[in-house]
C-alpha cells in the first residue's frame, strides 16, 4: 500500500494531550498515528518538525451572503479565506436570499455552495416562527447543523429577509415575533434535539434607547453603546434561558459580548441545564477603548463593549462556561463602512484572522495550545454532533488537519485577506503563531499561506441529532 500523505515529526495536539507522532492518511481518512516510521511509502510527505499538528479547526459562524449581496462576499471567497486561516470546516448562516427555511431551499443551498467550497461546510437553518415552524422537522432530517433565531428582528413579508432597523409602520414587514411565537419555535426545535441558537439583543430596549440618543445628537461610539447597552443582551439571555428551561430545548447564545451574560449562563450551567455560549475574537481582543484608533471598522452587533466585559469573557473561557470561539465573519465593502457610525452596517471579516489571533494568545500565555484545540475544534464538533468525524485526530476519522508554526510571526494586513471585501478591525495587528497547512480530508488546500486546493473540494457536513450533541 502507498499512503496518500504522511505528516512526519510533528507534535499532535488534542484538548487533553500532546505527543510526537507521524500521521498517515489514506483515502481522506487518518490511517495510522505512530511514533514509528512505517515501511510503506507515501505519495506526499509534510515535514512538521517543530510544528504542531491540530485537528482541523472549525468556524461555526460565518455569513458569506451567498446567494444574496455577493458583491460583499461569496462562498468561494469566504472558504478561500477560511483555508488561508487554517480553518477546515465552516458553518454557514441561513439569512441568505432565499433563506434556508425549508427542505427545498436547503437543497438549493447545498448545490450552490458545493460548487464553490474550498473547505467542508455545514448549514444552519433559520427559525421564522409561524412562517416555517412546520418545516423544522424536514430541515432536521436534511442534517442542518442547528437552528438560528434572530431575536428581535423583523421579517420582510415577501422575501423573508431580516429587517435590521425595524420601525413600526414599515410596509410589507412582519414585526419582531412576540414571546409566544418564540416559545413555539423552541418547542418545535426541541423535538429535533438540536441547538436553538439566538442573536440575543432586546429590540424594544435598543429601539427606545437609540431613539433617545439620536434625538440628543449622539454620534460617538459611547453613544452607540448607550443605545445598545449590556442590558439589551442580558435581558434576552435571561428570557431565553427561562423559556429553554420550560421547553427543554438546547439553548445556545451566539457571540456573547457581556460579562453579565457570561455570569448568568455560568450560574444556570451549574444547575445542570444544557445552556451553551460562544464568543468571538473581537470581544476577546478589543474594547470600546480601541475605537479611537480602529474606527468604524470595528462596528459589529452586538457591539464590542467595555474592558470589564473583555475580562469577563476571558474568565468564561478559562472556566469552560464558553464552549467555543468563532468568527462571525460578515464582510461589508469599504464604501459601506465609510460613513457615520449610526448608518454604516455592522460586521467585518474574521474567518481568516481568527486562528492566528488565538495562536498569538497562546504565545502570550492567555491560553494553552490544548485550550485552543478545545475551543476551535473539539468542543464545536461535539456541540454540533459531528465528533469525532471532525474535531479529532484519530484512526478512521476525516483527515482534517491544521498544522501551525508557533514561532512564525506575521502582521495581519487587510490587503492580504482572501475575502472579497477587506474590512477588518485587526489590520496591522502583529501575531506570533501562524497556520502553515490546511488539510481537508487528506487534501492540502493551503500551504504556507498559498491556496493550492481547488474550488469544489469542500463537502456538506451532516449533523447528528442526539441531544448530547456528540456522535461516538
Question: CB neighbours (10 Å) of residue 290?
Answer: 15
pLDDT range class, residue 184, cuts 50, 70, 90:
very high
> In the chain, what percentage of residues exceed pLDDT 70?
98
Q: Give the three-class secondary structure for 7.
A: strand
- The single-letter DSSP state of residue 4 is S
Distance CA 55, CA 12 (A): 8
Distance CA 70, CA 74 (A): 5
Q: Grid coordinates representing 40?
A: 510503506
Q: What is the pLDDT of residue 158?
A: 79
| 18-26 and 5-13 beta bridge pairing | antiparallel
* Chain centroid offset of residue 288 CA: 22
CA Rg, the chain, in Å? 21
- How high is the mean pLDDT of the chain? 95
| Strand order across the 147-150 sheet | 125-126, 147-150, 195-199, 250-253, 276-279, 324-325
Q: Which whole-number Å values give the CA distances from 459 to 338, 357, 385, in the listed order? A: 36, 27, 16
pLDDT given at position 175: 83
Digit-coded pLDDT (tens) for 324-379: 999 999 999 999 999 889 889 999 999 999 999 999 999 999 999 999 999 999 99
Beta strands in 106-257 (DSSP E): 120-123, 125-126, 147-150, 154-156, 162-163, 173-174, 195-199, 250-253
pTM: 0.96
Joined grid coordinates for residue 22: 507521524
CA atoms within 13 A on the CB side of 65: 21
Query: Is residue 374 one of the residues assigned to a domain?
Result: yes
Give a yes or no: residue 66 inside a domain: yes
CA 430 – CA 360 distance, rounded (Å): 9
What is the rounded CA–CA span in Å between residue 11 and residue 255? 31
Residue that the C-alpha cell 454532533 belongs to: 385
Q: How far apart are CA 376 and CA 190, in angstroms?
A: 26
| Sheet bearing 154-156, strands edge to edge | 162-163, 154-156, 173-174
Is 124 within 8 Å of 100 (Cβ atoms)?
yes
- DSSP letter, residue 375: I
Pair type for strands 18-26 and 29-34: antiparallel
Stretch 434-439: mean pLDDT: 98
pLDDT digits (tens, 9 = 90+) for 254-279: 999 999 999 999 999 999 999 999 99
C-alpha to C-alpha distance for 221 and 114, rounded to whole angstroms:
40
Reply yes or no on whether the pLDDT at 89 is more than 60.
yes
Question: Residue 442's closest CA among 50, 42, 123?
Answer: 42
Report if residue 266 sits inside a domain.
Answer: yes
- Position 468 scores a pLDDT of 33
C-alpha–C-alpha distance, residues 334 and 321, integer Å: 35
Q: How many other C-beta atoms are found inside a 10 Å radius of the C-beta of residue 204?
A: 11
Total number of domains constituting the chain: 1
179 pLDDT higher than 90: yes
| pLDDT, tens only, 385-403 | 999 999 999 999 999 999 9
Residue 450, domain member (yes or no): no
CB 329 within 8 A of CB 349: yes
Residue 454 placed within a domain? no
CATH assignment at residue 121? 3.20.20.140
**pLDDT per residue over 94-104, tens digit each?**
999 999 999 99
Q: H or E stretch including 447?
A: strand 443-447
**Confidence at residue 164, expressed as pLDDT on a 0 to 100 scale:** 67
**Phi first, then psi: what are they for 415, rounded to 5°?**
-70, -15
pLDDT tens digit sequence for 214-258: 999 999 999 999 999 999 999 999 999 999 999 999 999 999 999
| Residue 463 in domain | no
Cell of 217: 445628537
Q: How far apart are CA 181 and CA 166, in angstroms?
A: 18
34 falls within a domain: no
Whether the Cβ atoms of residue 209 and residue 222 lie closer than 8 Å to each other: no
* DSSP SS3 for 212: helix
The three cell numbers locating residue 449: 499561506
The grid coordinates of residue 240 equal 431565553
d(CA 337, CA 423): 8
**Residue 418, domain extent:** 58-394+407-431
End-to-end CA distance of the chain: 29
Q: Quote the cell numbers at residue 103.
A: 427542505
Alpha-carbon distance of 37 to 40, in angstroms, equals: 9
> 334 exposed, middle or buried (CB, 10 Å; 0-12, 13-18, 19+)?
exposed
CA angle 213, 218, 223 (to 5 degrees): 75
Closest CA to 445 of 92, 118, 50: 118
Within-domain flag for 52: no
pLDDT bucket at 415, cuts 50 / 70 / 90: very high
Amino acid at each position: 500500500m502507498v499512503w496518500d500523505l504522511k505528516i512526519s515529526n510533528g507534535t499532535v495536539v488534542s484538548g487533553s494531550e500532546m505527543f510526537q507522532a507521524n500521521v498517515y492518511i489514506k483515502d481522506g481518512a487518518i490511517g495510522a498515528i505512530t511514533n514509528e516510521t512505517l515501511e510503506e511509502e507515501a505519495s506526499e510527505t509534510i515535514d512538521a518538525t517543530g510544528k504542531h499538528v491540530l485537528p482541523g479547526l472549525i468556524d461555526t459562524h460565518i455569513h458569506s451572503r451567498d446567494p444574496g449581496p455577493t458583491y460583499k462576499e461569496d462562498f468561494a471567497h469566504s472558504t478561500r479565506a477560511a483555508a488561508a486561516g487554517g480553518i477546515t470546516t465552516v458553518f454557514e448562516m441561513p439569512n441568505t436570499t432565499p433563506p434556508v427555511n425549508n427542505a427545498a431551499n436547503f437543497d438549493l443551498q447545498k448545490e450552490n455552495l458545493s460548487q464553490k467550497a474550498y473547505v467542508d461546510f455545514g448549514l444552519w437553518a433559520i427559525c421564522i416562527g409561524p412562517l416555517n415552524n412546520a418545516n423544522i422537522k424536514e430541515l432536521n432530517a436534511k442534517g442542518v447543523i442547528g437552528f438560528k433565531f434572530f431575536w428581535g428582528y423583523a421579517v420582510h413579508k415577501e422575501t423573508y429577509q431580516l429587517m435590521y432597523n425595524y420601525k413600526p409602520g414599515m410596509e410589507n414587514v412582519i414585526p419582531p415575533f412576540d414571546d409566544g411565537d418564540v416559545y413555539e419555535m423552541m418547542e418545535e426545535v426541541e423535538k429535533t434535539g438540536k441547538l436553538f441558537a439566538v442573536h440575543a439583543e432586546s429590540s424594544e430596549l435598543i429601539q427606545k434607547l437609540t431613539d433617545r440618543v439620536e434625538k440628543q445628537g449622539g454620534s460617538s461610539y459611547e453613544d452607540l453603546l448607550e443605545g445598545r447597552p449590556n442590558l439589551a443582551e442580558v435581558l434576552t439571555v435571561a428570557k431565553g434561558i427561562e423559556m429553554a428551561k420550560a421547553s427543554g430545548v438546547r439553548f445556545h447564545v451566539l457571540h456573547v459580548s457581556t460579562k453579565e451574560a457570561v455570569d448568568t449562563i455560568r450560574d444556570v450551567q451549574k444547575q445542570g441545564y444544557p445552556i451553551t455560549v460562544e464568543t468571538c475574537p473581537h470581544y476577546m481582543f478589543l474594547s470600546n477603548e480601541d475605537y479611537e484608533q480602529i474606527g468604524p471598522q470595528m462596528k459589529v452587533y452586538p457591539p464590542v463593549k467595555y474592558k470589564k466585559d473583555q475580562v469577563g469573557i476571558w474568565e468564561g473561557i478559562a472556566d469552560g462556561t464558553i464552549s467555543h470561539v468563532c468568527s462571525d465573519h460578515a464582510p461589508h465593502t469599504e464604501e459601506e463602512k465609510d460613513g457615520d457610525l449610526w448608518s454604516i452596517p455592522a460586521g467585518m471579516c474574521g474567518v481568516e484572522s481568527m486562528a492566528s489571533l488565538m495562536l498569538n494568545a497562546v504565545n502570550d500565555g492567555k491560553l494553552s495550545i490544548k485550550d485552543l484545540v478545545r475551543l476551535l475544534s473539539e468542543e464545536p464538533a461535539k456541540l454540533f454532533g459531528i465528533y469525532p468525524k471532525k474535531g479529532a485526530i484519530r484512526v478512521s476519522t476525516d483527515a482534517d488537519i491544521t498544522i501551525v508554526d508557533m514561532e512564525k510571526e506575521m502582521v495581519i494586513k487587510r490587503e492580504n485577506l482572501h475575502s472579497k471585501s477587506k474590512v477588518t478591525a485587526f489590520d496591522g495587528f502583529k501575531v506570533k503563531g501562524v497556520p502553515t497547512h490546511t488539510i481537508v480530508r487528506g487534501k492540502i488546500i493551503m500551504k504556507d499561506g498559498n491556496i493550492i486546493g481547488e474550488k469544489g473540494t469542500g463537502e456538506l457536513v451532516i449533523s447528528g441529532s442526539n441531544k448530547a450533541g456528540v456522535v461516538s
